[in-house]
Structure 1
Amino acid sequence: MKNSRNIDTLLRSLDAAGQSAAPDPRRSQNDLEQILRSPTSATGVAGPAEYKTTMSRPSRRRRRTIALGAVAFAATAGFLVVPALSGGDPAFATWTAAPGALTGAERDSAVSDCVRSSKGVGDGMFAGDVNAAEVAIAERRGAWTTVVLSGADGFEATCTTDSTAVWFKKGSFGSVGKPGNGREPVGREIKATQLGTGVIADNPLSMASGQVGPDVAAMTYTSSAGEKITATVSKGQFAFWLPGGELPNSSDQDVPVEVTYTDNTTETRHLSLDGATL
Protein backbone atom coordinates (compact mmCIF):
# COMPACT_ATOMS: atom_id res chain seq x y z
CA MET A 1 0.00 0.00 0.00
CA LYS A 2 1.42 3.44 -0.97
CA ASN A 3 1.78 6.36 1.45
CA SER A 4 -1.78 7.72 1.67
CA ARG A 5 -0.78 11.38 2.24
CA ASN A 6 1.46 11.47 -0.84
CA ILE A 7 -1.13 9.68 -2.96
CA ASP A 8 -3.91 12.06 -1.87
CA THR A 9 -1.82 15.11 -2.74
CA LEU A 10 -0.75 13.75 -6.08
CA LEU A 11 -4.23 12.58 -7.06
CA ARG A 12 -5.66 16.00 -6.22
CA SER A 13 -3.04 17.54 -8.52
CA LEU A 14 -4.33 15.31 -11.32
CA ASP A 15 -7.99 16.30 -10.71
CA ALA A 16 -9.40 17.50 -14.00
CA ALA A 17 -11.50 20.15 -12.18
CA GLY A 18 -8.37 22.03 -11.18
CA GLN A 19 -6.59 21.90 -14.55
CA SER A 20 -6.86 23.68 -17.88
CA ALA A 21 -8.71 22.16 -20.81
CA ALA A 22 -5.40 20.86 -22.17
CA PRO A 23 -3.32 19.55 -19.23
CA ASP A 24 0.42 19.29 -19.60
CA PRO A 25 1.22 15.58 -20.31
CA ARG A 26 4.73 15.99 -18.89
CA ARG A 27 3.25 17.01 -15.55
CA SER A 28 0.94 13.99 -15.51
CA GLN A 29 3.77 11.63 -16.29
CA ASN A 30 5.93 13.18 -13.56
CA ASP A 31 3.13 12.82 -11.01
CA LEU A 32 2.57 9.18 -11.97
CA GLU A 33 6.25 8.39 -11.52
CA GLN A 34 6.18 10.01 -8.06
CA ILE A 35 3.23 7.81 -7.05
CA LEU A 36 4.99 4.65 -8.17
CA ARG A 37 8.15 5.68 -6.30
CA SER A 38 6.38 6.59 -3.04
CA PRO A 39 7.34 4.39 0.00
CA THR A 40 5.11 1.61 1.25
CA SER A 41 3.11 2.07 4.43
CA ALA A 42 4.00 0.19 7.60
CA THR A 43 0.44 -1.12 7.73
CA GLY A 44 0.36 -2.85 4.38
CA VAL A 45 -2.21 -5.26 3.02
CA ALA A 46 -1.84 -8.81 4.29
CA GLY A 47 -0.10 -11.13 1.85
CA PRO A 48 -1.14 -14.59 0.72
CA ALA A 49 -1.85 -17.22 3.36
CA GLU A 50 1.21 -19.13 4.48
CA TYR A 51 -0.33 -22.54 3.93
CA LYS A 52 -1.37 -23.86 0.57
CA THR A 53 -4.70 -25.60 0.20
CA THR A 54 -3.80 -27.46 -2.97
CA MET A 55 -2.55 -31.00 -3.37
CA SER A 56 1.14 -31.86 -3.15
CA ARG A 57 3.29 -31.11 -6.15
CA PRO A 58 4.44 -34.19 -8.06
CA SER A 59 7.88 -35.51 -7.24
CA ARG A 60 10.35 -36.43 -9.96
CA ARG A 61 9.83 -40.14 -9.41
CA ARG A 62 6.45 -41.54 -10.40
CA ARG A 63 4.96 -43.61 -7.60
CA ARG A 64 2.06 -46.03 -7.80
CA THR A 65 0.06 -44.57 -4.96
CA ILE A 66 -3.62 -43.77 -4.55
CA ALA A 67 -5.05 -41.24 -2.10
CA LEU A 68 -7.75 -42.12 0.39
CA GLY A 69 -10.83 -40.01 0.92
CA ALA A 70 -14.27 -39.37 -0.41
CA VAL A 71 -12.83 -39.72 -3.92
CA ALA A 72 -9.82 -41.73 -5.08
CA PHE A 73 -7.21 -39.96 -7.18
CA ALA A 74 -4.36 -41.36 -9.23
CA ALA A 75 -1.20 -40.05 -7.60
CA THR A 76 2.21 -39.13 -8.92
CA ALA A 77 3.58 -37.90 -5.59
CA GLY A 78 4.72 -39.80 -2.55
CA PHE A 79 2.32 -37.91 -0.31
CA LEU A 80 -1.27 -36.92 -1.02
CA VAL A 81 -4.02 -35.76 1.27
CA VAL A 82 -7.71 -35.75 0.41
CA PRO A 83 -9.84 -33.76 2.86
CA ALA A 84 -11.87 -36.01 5.11
CA LEU A 85 -15.35 -35.13 6.24
CA SER A 86 -15.61 -32.82 9.24
CA GLY A 87 -15.14 -34.60 12.53
CA GLY A 88 -15.31 -33.83 16.21
CA ASP A 89 -11.81 -32.32 16.42
CA PRO A 90 -11.25 -30.46 13.12
CA ALA A 91 -8.76 -27.96 14.57
CA PHE A 92 -6.49 -30.69 16.01
CA ALA A 93 -7.15 -29.30 19.49
CA THR A 94 -6.47 -32.66 21.16
CA TRP A 95 -3.35 -33.51 19.13
CA THR A 96 -0.27 -34.61 21.10
CA ALA A 97 3.40 -34.58 20.14
CA ALA A 98 3.97 -38.00 21.71
CA PRO A 99 1.78 -40.82 20.38
CA GLY A 100 -0.09 -43.36 22.45
CA ALA A 101 -0.75 -46.96 21.48
CA LEU A 102 -4.17 -48.09 20.29
CA THR A 103 -5.41 -51.16 22.13
CA GLY A 104 -8.47 -53.37 22.45
CA ALA A 105 -11.70 -52.51 20.70
CA GLU A 106 -10.44 -49.05 19.76
CA ARG A 107 -7.53 -50.59 17.87
CA ASP A 108 -9.77 -53.17 16.19
CA SER A 109 -12.14 -50.44 15.04
CA ALA A 110 -9.38 -48.23 13.61
CA VAL A 111 -7.75 -51.14 11.79
CA SER A 112 -11.09 -52.32 10.38
CA ASP A 113 -11.87 -48.82 9.10
CA CYS A 114 -8.47 -48.57 7.43
CA VAL A 115 -8.80 -52.01 5.81
CA ARG A 116 -12.26 -51.19 4.50
CA SER A 117 -11.21 -47.78 3.15
CA SER A 118 -8.05 -49.14 1.53
CA LYS A 119 -9.85 -51.99 -0.18
CA GLY A 120 -12.24 -49.63 -1.89
CA VAL A 121 -9.57 -47.41 -3.44
CA GLY A 122 -8.82 -47.66 -7.15
CA ASP A 123 -11.73 -50.02 -7.88
CA GLY A 124 -10.23 -52.56 -5.51
CA MET A 125 -6.86 -52.75 -7.27
CA PHE A 126 -5.07 -53.26 -3.92
CA ALA A 127 -7.68 -55.44 -2.21
CA GLY A 128 -5.45 -58.52 -2.29
CA ASP A 129 -2.50 -56.60 -0.85
CA VAL A 130 -4.69 -55.20 1.92
CA ASN A 131 -5.95 -58.67 2.85
CA ALA A 132 -2.39 -59.99 3.12
CA ALA A 133 -0.99 -56.94 4.95
CA GLU A 134 -0.20 -56.76 8.66
CA VAL A 135 -0.67 -53.89 11.07
CA ALA A 136 2.68 -52.14 11.45
CA ILE A 137 1.52 -49.02 13.31
CA ALA A 138 -1.61 -48.27 15.34
CA GLU A 139 -1.20 -45.01 17.24
CA ARG A 140 -3.29 -42.25 18.79
CA ARG A 141 -2.55 -38.54 19.02
CA GLY A 142 -5.43 -37.09 20.98
CA ALA A 143 -8.63 -37.81 19.10
CA TRP A 144 -6.73 -38.79 15.97
CA THR A 145 -5.76 -42.38 15.14
CA THR A 146 -3.19 -43.47 12.58
CA VAL A 147 -2.95 -46.98 11.17
CA VAL A 148 -0.21 -48.18 8.83
CA LEU A 149 -0.60 -51.51 7.05
CA SER A 150 2.43 -53.07 5.35
CA GLY A 151 2.89 -56.02 3.04
CA ALA A 152 4.97 -57.65 0.35
CA ASP A 153 6.71 -55.77 -2.48
CA GLY A 154 6.73 -52.49 -0.54
CA PHE A 155 2.96 -52.30 -0.13
CA GLU A 156 1.69 -49.66 2.32
CA ALA A 157 -1.65 -48.27 3.39
CA THR A 158 -1.93 -45.38 5.83
CA CYS A 159 -5.11 -43.99 7.36
CA THR A 160 -5.46 -41.10 9.81
CA THR A 161 -8.93 -40.47 11.23
CA ASP A 162 -10.68 -38.34 13.82
CA SER A 163 -12.05 -41.03 16.13
CA THR A 164 -14.50 -38.62 17.77
CA ALA A 165 -16.40 -37.94 14.55
CA VAL A 166 -19.89 -39.37 14.32
CA TRP A 167 -20.19 -42.26 11.89
CA PHE A 168 -21.84 -40.27 9.09
CA LYS A 169 -19.05 -37.67 9.16
CA LYS A 170 -16.08 -40.01 9.39
CA GLY A 171 -13.38 -39.89 6.75
CA SER A 172 -9.70 -40.76 6.40
CA PHE A 173 -6.68 -39.20 4.82
CA GLY A 174 -3.60 -41.09 3.75
CA SER A 175 -2.56 -43.28 0.85
CA VAL A 176 -2.41 -46.84 -0.38
CA GLY A 177 -0.07 -48.45 -2.90
CA LYS A 178 3.46 -49.58 -3.62
CA PRO A 179 5.50 -46.37 -3.63
CA GLY A 180 8.92 -48.02 -3.61
CA ASN A 181 10.73 -50.54 -5.76
CA GLY A 182 9.74 -53.45 -3.52
CA ARG A 183 13.11 -53.74 -1.76
CA GLU A 184 12.88 -53.57 2.01
CA PRO A 185 15.33 -51.19 3.75
CA VAL A 186 18.29 -52.85 5.46
CA GLY A 187 20.53 -51.77 8.32
CA ARG A 188 20.13 -48.06 9.01
CA GLU A 189 18.31 -47.24 5.80
CA ILE A 190 15.28 -44.92 5.89
CA LYS A 191 12.90 -44.42 2.98
CA ALA A 192 10.23 -41.73 3.21
CA THR A 193 7.16 -42.61 1.17
CA GLN A 194 4.87 -39.82 2.41
CA LEU A 195 6.21 -36.36 3.12
CA GLY A 196 4.47 -33.03 2.86
CA THR A 197 1.58 -30.76 3.76
CA GLY A 198 -2.13 -31.24 3.22
CA VAL A 199 -5.43 -29.83 4.44
CA ILE A 200 -8.27 -31.46 6.34
CA ALA A 201 -11.41 -29.63 7.51
CA ASP A 202 -9.78 -26.36 6.32
CA ASN A 203 -6.77 -26.88 8.61
CA PRO A 204 -3.23 -27.60 7.36
CA LEU A 205 -1.27 -30.55 8.64
CA SER A 206 2.15 -32.01 7.92
CA MET A 207 2.87 -35.73 7.74
CA ALA A 208 5.85 -38.01 7.23
CA SER A 209 5.88 -41.79 7.04
CA GLY A 210 7.80 -44.55 5.35
CA GLN A 211 10.03 -47.56 5.83
CA VAL A 212 13.09 -48.13 8.02
CA GLY A 213 15.76 -50.79 8.34
CA PRO A 214 15.97 -53.07 11.40
CA ASP A 215 18.72 -50.97 13.01
CA VAL A 216 16.44 -47.92 13.37
CA ALA A 217 14.87 -47.84 16.84
CA ALA A 218 13.38 -44.35 17.21
CA MET A 219 12.94 -41.01 15.45
CA THR A 220 12.01 -37.47 16.50
CA TYR A 221 11.31 -34.29 14.56
CA THR A 222 11.72 -30.79 16.02
CA SER A 223 9.06 -28.42 14.74
CA SER A 224 9.66 -24.80 13.76
CA ALA A 225 8.21 -23.86 17.18
CA GLY A 226 10.83 -25.99 18.94
CA GLU A 227 8.49 -28.83 19.92
CA LYS A 228 9.83 -32.38 19.65
CA ILE A 229 7.50 -34.69 17.76
CA THR A 230 7.98 -38.38 18.52
CA ALA A 231 7.51 -40.71 15.59
CA THR A 232 6.12 -44.21 15.96
CA VAL A 233 8.68 -46.74 14.70
CA SER A 234 7.38 -50.29 14.46
CA LYS A 235 7.73 -53.37 12.22
CA GLY A 236 9.85 -51.62 9.62
CA GLN A 237 7.64 -48.51 9.38
CA PHE A 238 7.70 -45.00 10.84
CA ALA A 239 5.06 -42.27 11.01
CA PHE A 240 4.54 -38.86 12.58
CA TRP A 241 2.39 -35.83 11.85
CA LEU A 242 1.67 -32.41 13.31
CA PRO A 243 -0.74 -29.53 12.79
CA GLY A 244 0.46 -26.79 10.45
CA GLY A 245 2.02 -26.69 7.03
CA GLU A 246 5.75 -26.72 7.68
CA LEU A 247 6.81 -29.90 5.86
CA PRO A 248 7.68 -29.17 2.22
CA ASN A 249 5.68 -30.57 -0.70
CA SER A 250 8.77 -31.08 -2.81
CA SER A 251 11.41 -33.70 -3.44
CA ASP A 252 13.93 -30.85 -3.76
CA GLN A 253 13.80 -30.17 -0.01
CA ASP A 254 14.51 -32.40 2.97
CA VAL A 255 13.40 -32.66 6.58
CA PRO A 256 15.93 -33.14 9.42
CA VAL A 257 15.10 -35.81 12.00
CA GLU A 258 16.99 -37.20 14.97
CA VAL A 259 17.38 -40.96 14.58
CA THR A 260 18.26 -43.41 17.36
CA TYR A 261 19.63 -46.84 16.47
CA THR A 262 19.43 -50.15 18.28
CA ASP A 263 22.96 -49.65 19.64
CA ASN A 264 21.77 -46.39 21.32
CA THR A 265 23.77 -44.14 19.02
CA THR A 266 22.02 -41.15 17.45
CA GLU A 267 22.52 -38.93 14.46
CA THR A 268 20.67 -36.36 12.37
CA ARG A 269 19.28 -37.68 9.11
CA HIS A 270 17.36 -35.87 6.37
CA LEU A 271 14.13 -37.25 4.95
CA SER A 272 13.12 -36.63 1.36
CA LEU A 273 10.90 -38.33 -1.19
CA ASP A 274 14.04 -39.49 -2.97
CA GLY A 275 15.34 -41.28 0.13
CA ALA A 276 17.22 -40.38 3.30
CA THR A 277 20.66 -38.80 3.35
CA LEU A 278 23.04 -38.02 6.17
Structure 2
Amino acid sequence: MKNSRNIDTLLRSMDAAGQSGAPNPGRSQSDLEQILRSRPTSADRGAGPVEDKKSTTYPSGRRRRTFALGAVAFAATVGFLVVPALSGGDPAFATWTAAPGALIGAERDSAVSDCIRSTKGVGDGMFTNDLEAAEVAIAEKRGAWTTVVLAGSGGFEATCTTDTTAPWFKKGSIGSVGKPGDGQPLSSREVRATQLGTGVIANNPLSMASGKVGADVAAIAYTAAAGERITATVSKGQFAFWFPGTELTNSSDQPVPVEVTYTDNTTEIRYLSL
Protein backbone atom coordinates (compact mmCIF):
# COMPACT_ATOMS: atom_id res chain seq x y z
CA MET A 1 0.00 0.00 0.00
CA LYS A 2 2.34 2.69 -1.23
CA ASN A 3 0.20 5.32 -2.93
CA SER A 4 -2.56 7.78 -2.14
CA ARG A 5 -5.19 5.79 -4.07
CA ASN A 6 -4.66 2.75 -1.86
CA ILE A 7 -4.65 4.94 1.23
CA ASP A 8 -8.00 6.42 0.18
CA THR A 9 -9.40 2.90 -0.30
CA LEU A 10 -8.24 1.89 3.16
CA LEU A 11 -9.74 4.97 4.75
CA ARG A 12 -13.09 4.31 3.09
CA SER A 13 -13.02 0.69 4.29
CA MET A 14 -12.68 1.99 7.87
CA ASP A 15 -15.77 4.24 7.57
CA ALA A 16 -18.63 2.52 9.35
CA ALA A 17 -21.17 4.70 7.52
CA GLY A 18 -20.27 3.10 4.22
CA GLN A 19 -20.41 -0.55 5.32
CA SER A 20 -23.41 -2.83 5.24
CA GLY A 21 -22.45 -4.86 8.29
CA ALA A 22 -20.80 -4.04 11.62
CA PRO A 23 -17.25 -2.78 11.16
CA ASN A 24 -14.41 -5.14 11.96
CA PRO A 25 -12.17 -3.47 14.59
CA GLY A 26 -9.31 -5.85 13.89
CA ARG A 27 -9.34 -5.07 10.18
CA SER A 28 -9.55 -1.32 10.82
CA GLN A 29 -6.54 -1.43 13.11
CA SER A 30 -4.59 -3.47 10.59
CA ASP A 31 -5.44 -1.04 7.79
CA LEU A 32 -4.48 1.94 9.92
CA GLU A 33 -1.10 0.40 10.69
CA GLN A 34 -0.52 -0.10 6.94
CA ILE A 35 -1.31 3.57 6.29
CA LEU A 36 1.08 4.75 8.99
CA ARG A 37 3.83 2.54 7.56
CA SER A 38 3.27 3.86 4.02
CA ARG A 39 5.52 6.38 2.34
CA PRO A 40 4.50 8.48 -0.70
CA THR A 41 5.94 7.42 -4.03
CA SER A 42 7.83 9.79 -6.26
CA ALA A 43 4.69 10.19 -8.38
CA ASP A 44 2.72 11.30 -5.30
CA ARG A 45 5.32 13.93 -4.45
CA GLY A 46 5.21 15.51 -7.90
CA ALA A 47 7.98 16.50 -10.25
CA GLY A 48 11.54 16.79 -9.06
CA PRO A 49 13.45 20.06 -8.71
CA VAL A 50 14.24 22.16 -11.73
CA GLU A 51 17.93 22.66 -12.35
CA ASP A 52 19.14 26.00 -13.67
CA LYS A 53 22.65 27.34 -13.76
CA LYS A 54 21.44 30.81 -12.78
CA SER A 55 19.68 29.67 -9.64
CA THR A 56 21.03 31.21 -6.48
CA THR A 57 21.11 28.41 -3.94
CA TYR A 58 22.52 27.51 -0.57
CA PRO A 59 24.62 24.35 -0.13
CA SER A 60 22.54 21.67 1.57
CA GLY A 61 24.93 21.50 4.51
CA ARG A 62 24.52 25.17 5.48
CA ARG A 63 22.63 25.67 8.72
CA ARG A 64 19.80 28.19 8.38
CA ARG A 65 19.23 30.01 11.69
CA THR A 66 15.82 31.44 10.91
CA PHE A 67 12.56 31.48 12.81
CA ALA A 68 9.19 32.02 11.18
CA LEU A 69 6.40 34.33 12.29
CA GLY A 70 2.72 33.87 11.56
CA ALA A 71 0.29 31.03 11.00
CA VAL A 72 2.44 29.03 8.57
CA ALA A 73 6.20 28.92 8.14
CA PHE A 74 7.66 29.97 4.82
CA ALA A 75 9.35 27.32 2.73
CA ALA A 76 12.93 26.51 3.74
CA THR A 77 12.79 28.22 7.11
CA VAL A 78 13.14 26.32 10.35
CA GLY A 79 11.99 27.10 13.85
CA PHE A 80 8.67 27.81 15.51
CA LEU A 81 5.68 30.06 14.98
CA VAL A 82 4.67 33.13 16.98
CA VAL A 83 2.27 36.07 16.83
CA PRO A 84 -0.36 34.75 14.41
CA ALA A 85 -2.94 37.25 13.15
CA LEU A 86 -6.39 36.00 14.16
CA SER A 87 -8.29 38.27 11.79
CA GLY A 88 -7.74 41.44 9.86
CA GLY A 89 -9.39 44.67 8.85
CA ASP A 90 -8.61 44.08 5.16
CA PRO A 91 -10.22 40.73 4.27
CA ALA A 92 -8.69 38.77 1.37
CA PHE A 93 -6.05 41.47 0.80
CA ALA A 94 -8.64 43.72 -0.84
CA THR A 95 -6.45 46.84 -0.69
CA TRP A 96 -3.20 45.15 -1.79
CA THR A 97 -1.29 46.84 -4.62
CA ALA A 98 1.29 45.39 -7.02
CA ALA A 99 3.44 48.51 -6.73
CA PRO A 100 4.58 49.42 -3.20
CA GLY A 101 4.46 52.81 -1.55
CA ALA A 102 6.97 54.15 0.96
CA LEU A 103 6.21 54.30 4.67
CA ILE A 104 7.05 57.70 6.15
CA GLY A 105 6.71 59.60 9.40
CA ALA A 106 4.66 58.18 12.25
CA GLU A 107 3.31 55.36 10.08
CA ARG A 108 6.86 54.16 9.42
CA ASP A 109 7.87 54.50 13.07
CA SER A 110 4.86 52.48 14.19
CA ALA A 111 5.48 49.66 11.69
CA VAL A 112 9.15 49.41 12.65
CA SER A 113 8.33 49.40 16.39
CA ASP A 114 5.70 46.69 15.88
CA CYS A 115 8.19 44.54 13.96
CA ILE A 116 10.87 44.85 16.64
CA ARG A 117 8.37 44.13 19.40
CA SER A 118 6.94 41.06 17.67
CA THR A 119 10.38 39.53 17.03
CA LYS A 120 12.23 40.31 20.26
CA GLY A 121 10.94 37.27 22.12
CA VAL A 122 11.70 34.76 19.37
CA GLY A 123 14.12 32.03 20.42
CA ASP A 124 14.01 33.19 24.04
CA GLY A 125 15.36 36.56 22.98
CA MET A 126 18.39 35.17 21.14
CA PHE A 127 18.20 37.96 18.54
CA THR A 128 17.63 40.90 20.92
CA ASN A 129 21.09 42.38 20.39
CA ASP A 130 20.84 41.94 16.62
CA LEU A 131 17.49 43.73 16.58
CA GLU A 132 18.84 46.65 18.60
CA ALA A 133 21.78 47.08 16.22
CA ALA A 134 19.85 46.49 12.97
CA GLU A 135 18.89 49.26 10.59
CA VAL A 136 15.66 49.63 8.63
CA ALA A 137 16.41 48.48 5.10
CA ILE A 138 12.82 48.37 3.78
CA ALA A 139 9.62 50.02 5.01
CA GLU A 140 6.89 49.68 2.39
CA LYS A 141 3.11 49.55 2.18
CA ARG A 142 0.76 47.85 -0.21
CA GLY A 143 -2.68 49.17 0.57
CA ALA A 144 -3.39 48.51 4.24
CA TRP A 145 -0.42 46.15 4.52
CA THR A 146 3.05 47.14 5.69
CA THR A 147 6.30 45.23 5.26
CA VAL A 148 9.41 46.01 7.28
CA VAL A 149 12.83 44.47 6.70
CA LEU A 150 15.54 45.02 9.33
CA ALA A 151 19.12 44.12 8.44
CA GLY A 152 22.29 43.80 10.50
CA SER A 153 25.76 42.32 10.63
CA GLY A 154 26.50 38.64 10.15
CA GLY A 155 23.61 38.19 7.73
CA PHE A 156 20.94 39.09 10.30
CA GLU A 157 17.45 39.84 8.94
CA ALA A 158 13.98 40.34 10.37
CA THR A 159 10.91 40.74 8.18
CA CYS A 160 7.33 41.51 9.21
CA THR A 161 4.20 41.89 7.08
CA THR A 162 1.17 43.26 8.94
CA ASP A 163 -2.40 44.41 8.28
CA THR A 164 -2.41 47.87 9.85
CA THR A 165 -6.22 48.05 9.84
CA ALA A 166 -6.66 45.03 12.11
CA PRO A 167 -7.69 45.78 15.72
CA TRP A 168 -4.64 45.88 17.99
CA PHE A 169 -5.85 42.85 19.97
CA LYS A 170 -6.08 40.77 16.78
CA LYS A 171 -3.01 42.09 15.00
CA GLY A 172 -0.12 39.81 14.16
CA SER A 173 2.76 39.54 11.72
CA ILE A 174 4.05 37.02 9.26
CA GLY A 175 7.71 36.86 8.33
CA SER A 176 10.98 35.60 9.75
CA VAL A 177 13.89 36.53 11.97
CA GLY A 178 17.40 35.14 12.17
CA LYS A 179 20.61 34.63 10.22
CA PRO A 180 19.60 32.55 7.20
CA GLY A 181 22.90 32.99 5.35
CA ASP A 182 26.55 32.90 6.28
CA GLY A 183 27.10 36.65 6.12
CA GLN A 184 29.30 36.42 3.02
CA PRO A 185 29.25 39.50 0.74
CA LEU A 186 27.42 39.36 -2.57
CA SER A 187 28.83 40.05 -6.01
CA SER A 188 27.66 43.35 -7.52
CA ARG A 189 24.88 41.75 -9.61
CA GLU A 190 23.89 38.95 -7.29
CA VAL A 191 20.36 38.40 -5.97
CA ARG A 192 20.12 36.02 -3.02
CA ALA A 193 16.75 34.95 -1.61
CA THR A 194 16.64 34.33 2.13
CA GLN A 195 12.87 34.03 2.44
CA LEU A 196 10.84 32.44 -0.34
CA GLY A 197 7.52 30.62 -0.25
CA THR A 198 3.97 30.93 1.06
CA GLY A 199 2.31 31.62 4.38
CA VAL A 200 -1.09 32.45 5.85
CA ILE A 201 -2.26 35.54 7.70
CA ALA A 202 -5.84 36.14 8.82
CA ASN A 203 -6.73 32.83 7.14
CA ASN A 204 -5.60 34.14 3.74
CA PRO A 205 -2.58 32.74 1.86
CA LEU A 206 0.20 34.94 0.53
CA SER A 207 3.43 34.41 -1.40
CA MET A 208 6.59 36.25 -0.40
CA ALA A 209 10.18 36.67 -1.56
CA SER A 210 12.86 38.69 0.18
CA GLY A 211 16.60 38.69 0.58
CA LYS A 212 19.81 40.45 -0.38
CA VAL A 213 21.07 42.16 -3.53
CA GLY A 214 24.44 43.32 -4.82
CA ALA A 215 25.41 46.97 -5.23
CA ASP A 216 24.53 47.10 -8.96
CA VAL A 217 20.94 45.86 -8.55
CA ALA A 218 18.53 48.79 -8.98
CA ALA A 219 15.13 47.09 -9.35
CA ILE A 220 13.40 43.69 -9.32
CA ALA A 221 10.02 42.71 -10.75
CA TYR A 222 8.06 39.47 -10.79
CA THR A 223 5.33 38.60 -13.30
CA ALA A 224 2.65 36.45 -11.70
CA ALA A 225 0.97 33.56 -13.50
CA ALA A 226 -2.10 35.75 -14.11
CA GLY A 227 0.10 38.30 -15.90
CA GLU A 228 0.27 40.97 -13.19
CA ARG A 229 3.67 42.62 -12.83
CA ILE A 230 4.68 42.95 -9.18
CA THR A 231 7.33 45.49 -8.24
CA ALA A 232 9.74 44.68 -5.44
CA THR A 233 11.16 47.23 -3.06
CA VAL A 234 14.96 47.34 -3.39
CA SER A 235 16.77 49.34 -0.72
CA LYS A 236 20.01 49.23 1.27
CA GLY A 237 21.12 45.88 -0.10
CA GLN A 238 17.76 44.15 0.49
CA PHE A 239 14.69 43.35 -1.62
CA ALA A 240 11.15 42.27 -0.82
CA PHE A 241 7.86 41.65 -2.60
CA TRP A 242 4.71 39.70 -1.83
CA PHE A 243 1.29 39.10 -3.29
CA PRO A 244 -1.93 37.25 -2.39
CA GLY A 245 -2.22 33.54 -3.15
CA THR A 246 -0.17 30.36 -3.05
CA GLU A 247 1.76 30.77 -6.30
CA LEU A 248 5.19 30.35 -4.67
CA THR A 249 4.26 27.21 -2.74
CA ASN A 250 6.65 25.02 -4.76
CA SER A 251 9.52 27.51 -4.78
CA SER A 252 11.80 25.03 -3.01
CA ASP A 253 11.57 22.83 -6.13
CA GLN A 254 10.84 25.40 -8.84
CA PRO A 255 13.20 28.41 -8.99
CA VAL A 256 11.31 31.69 -9.28
CA PRO A 257 12.16 33.90 -12.30
CA VAL A 258 12.49 37.63 -11.67
CA GLU A 259 13.47 40.50 -13.94
CA VAL A 260 16.47 42.34 -12.52
CA THR A 261 17.40 45.85 -13.62
CA TYR A 262 20.93 47.06 -12.95
CA THR A 263 22.28 50.54 -12.37
CA ASP A 264 23.44 50.73 -16.01
CA ASN A 265 19.80 50.16 -17.12
CA THR A 266 20.47 46.67 -18.47
CA THR A 267 18.06 43.89 -17.48
CA GLU A 268 18.38 40.17 -16.94
CA ILE A 269 16.18 37.28 -15.88
CA ARG A 270 17.56 35.65 -12.75
CA TYR A 271 16.16 32.81 -10.67
CA LEU A 272 15.44 32.82 -6.95
CA SER A 273 15.72 29.66 -4.89
CA LEU A 274 16.70 28.57 -1.41
Whether TM-score is above 0.5 comes out as yes
Give, as a single letter, the amino acid of the residue that structure 1 aligns with 2:124. D
3-state SS in 1 of match to 2:113: helix
1:77 match: 76
Residues 232 and 79 (structure 1 numbering): CA distance in 2 closer, same or farther, change over 3 Å?
farther
Partners of 1:205 and 1:102 in 2: CA distance: 21
Q: Is the 8 A contact 1:63 1:76 kept in 2?
A: no
For residue 70 of structure 1, report the CA deviation from its aligned partner.
7.8
Q: Secondary structure at the match of 1:161?
A: strand
Inter-partner Cα distance in structure 1 for 2:132 and 2:124 = 15
Deviation at 1:250, TM superposition (A): 4.3
CA deviation after TM superposition for structure 1 residue 96, in Å: 0.1
Q: Which amino acid aligns with 2:182?
A: N
Pairing 1:108-127 to 2, within 5 Å after superposition:
108-127=109-128
| 1:67 Cα deviation after fit | 1.3
Match of 1:205 in 2: 206
Instruction: Give 1:166's aligned residue.
Output: 167
Q: 1:87 to 1:257 in 2, by over 3 A?
A: same
The gaps in structure 1 that reach 5 residues or longer are 1-58, 274-278
In the TM superposition, what is the alpha-carbon distance from 1:79 to its structure 2 partner? Answer: 7.9
Equivalent residues in 2 for 1:138-177, closer than 5 Å: 138-177=139-178
Shift of 1:120: 1.3
Structure 2 counterpart of 1:231: 232
Question: 1:79·1:195 contact (CA, 8 Å) conserved in 2?
Answer: no
SS of the counterpart of 2:184? coil
State how far apart, in whole Å, the 1-side matches of 2:155 and 2:250 are.
22
Q: Where does the alignment leave 5 or more consecutive residues of structure 2 unmatched?
A: 1-58
Aligned equivalent of 2:192: 191
1:63 and 1:176, CA in 2 relative to 1: closer, same or farther beyond 3 A?
A: same
8 Å Cα contact 2:71-2:174 kept in structure 1: no
| Deviation at residue 197 of structure 1 after TM alignment | 1.2
Deviation at 1:85, TM superposition (A): 2.3
SS of the equivalent of 1:123 reads helix
Instruction: Give, in whole Å, the separation in 2 of the partners of 1:161 and 1:171.
Output: 6
Q: Secondary structure at the match of 1:247?
A: coil
Given residue 192 of structure 2, which amino acid in structure 1 is its aligned partner? K
- Percent sequence identity is 78
Tell me, in whole angstroms, the C-alpha distance in 2 between the residues paired with 1:251 and 1:96: 25
1:245 maps to 2:246: yes
State the Cα distance separating 1:183 from its structure 2 match. Answer: 1.0
**Stretch moving more, 244-253 or 175-184:** 244-253
Please say if residues 79 and 175 of structure 1, whose CA atoms lie closer than 8 Å, have aligned partners that are also in contact.
no
Secondary structure in 2 matching 1:91 = helix
Match of 1:270 in 2: 271
Partners in 1 of 2:75 and 2:248 — Cα distance? 18
Give the letter for the 1:77 counterpart: A
- Scaled by the length of structure 2, the TM-score of the pair is 0.73
Structure 2 counterpart SS, 1:115: helix
> 1:58-69 counterparts in 2 under 5 A?
60=60, 61-69=62-70
Cα drift, residue 90 of structure 1: 3.0
